[in-house]
Structures are given as C-alpha cells and as structure tokens.
Structure 1
Amino acid sequence: MATIELLHIAGCPNSELTLDRLQRAVDNAMPSNAQIKYTLIDSAETAAQVMFAGSPTILVDGVDLFPTDGRTTDLACRIYLTPNGLAGAPTQQQIETALAAHG
C-alpha cells in the first residue's frame, strides 16, 4: 500500500482544495485502503526534513508526485502548471494521471 501525504502550511488557500481532489483521485485510481496523511509544515526545520516544494506538496512513498527542482524550506505556496494555466493546485485529473504513472 502506498503512503500518500499532503504537505501544507497554515493558511494556504489551496490545501483543502488539493486534499479534496487528492481524495477523489485516490478513490478513483488506487486501492480503497490507501490512507492520506495531512501534514502541517510549521517551520523551515520541518520543511527541510521532507521533500517540501511549497504548499501543497503531494508525496507518494516520500516522492513528490509532481517533481520539480523547487524543493524549499520556505513556508510558501506552490504553483502548478495545469491545462487551464498556472494554479495553486493540480487538477483532479492531473493527480489521477500522476498516481497511475507512479504505480
């Protein structure tokens, strides 16, 4: 079973939306026993201990589902390239595609 984790910072306006899309994508693309861990990144030290690339970051088995060179310890929001342009969260379809490719 894959370990799925959503890393977020306090007050990130895209965390809840991403969690909702991630849950629906996991329900569609992965076994029903997959659990999502929702982890608050509350300091630069915490961010440095994980593969954090801004809020929200989705990890599957510790690997960024949307890898970039943008690993950071800044408590900042993340931007995703979506079919509709730049956005603060990937689309549900992008998440499902990335989950399927992962595994």
Structure 2
Amino acid sequence: MELTVLVVPECPHTAPLRERLARALEGRADVTVTWHEVADPEEARRLGMHGSPTLLADGADPFARPGQEPSLSCRVGALPSVRQLREVIASG
C-alpha cells in the first residue's frame, strides 16, 4: 500500500499525524509513506486535498466526507486516530 500525506506549509497538524502514522505502521514494512507539501490551490484540487493534512491511501482519501470539495485549507474536524489509520492500512 502507498500512503501520501498532503500538507500545507507549517501545518500544525503535521506532527500529530506523523506520530499517529508511525504508531499505526509499527511492524508494517509493506507500506510506503510519502509527504507532499502543497502550496497551490490548483495542485490541491488535482491531488484531491481535503484540508491539511490529507491522507491518501492508494490515491484516495478514506476520510473525506461525501461530496467534500478539494481545497487548500486547514483540516476541519479531528485527525484520524491510530485505530482508524490501522483500519485503513489493513483494508489495503
């Protein structure tokens, strides 16, 4: 599985998500994580960013709300928990 994390520069949610992902990935050598900084609204739209940080699992955001439009903004709502991250990783 490939995970991509889309973040805006200096996002305050980056460090907490990085920590949760590290915990969720303990013992998993089969998952690749790429961090990508997005500073352009068009790039955010093209990549499917739904607020910073956005986690893409094999190119799709498993935590996006139905009908949510892509945006270059801060994430609204709570970050995914370690349990939620593990569920996404296990489903891949």
Shorter-chain TM-score tier: 0.7 to 0.9
CA contact (8 A) 1:8 1:40 kept: yes
1:41 aligns with 2:38: yes
1:10 and 2:9 correspond: yes
CA contact (8 A) 2:24 2:86 kept: yes
- Which amino acid in 2 is paired with 1:97? E
1:72 matches 2:70: yes
Structure 1 residue runs of 4+, over 6 Å off? none
How far is 1:70 from its partner?
1.9
Work out the CA distance in 1 between the residues paired with 2:64 and 2:31.
Answer: 21
User: Percent same amino acid at aligned positions?
Assistant: 29
Cα distance in 1 between the residues matched to 2:62 and 2:22: 14
Q: Confirm or deny: 8 A CA contact 2:57 2:88 kept in the other structure.
A: no
Question: Which ranges in structure 2 are unaligned for 5 or more consecutive residues?
Answer: none
- TM superposition shift of 1:67: 2.7
Q: Runs of 5+ in structure 1 lacking a partner?
A: 81-86
**Matched AA of 1:91:** S
Distance (whole Å) between structure 1 residues aligned to residue 76 and residue 85 of structure 2: 14
| Alpha-carbon shift at residue 64 of structure 1 (Å) | 0.5
Residue 22 of structure 2 corresponds to which residue in structure 1? 23
Pair 1:97-2:87 in alignment: yes
| Alignment partner of 1:32 is 2:29 | yes
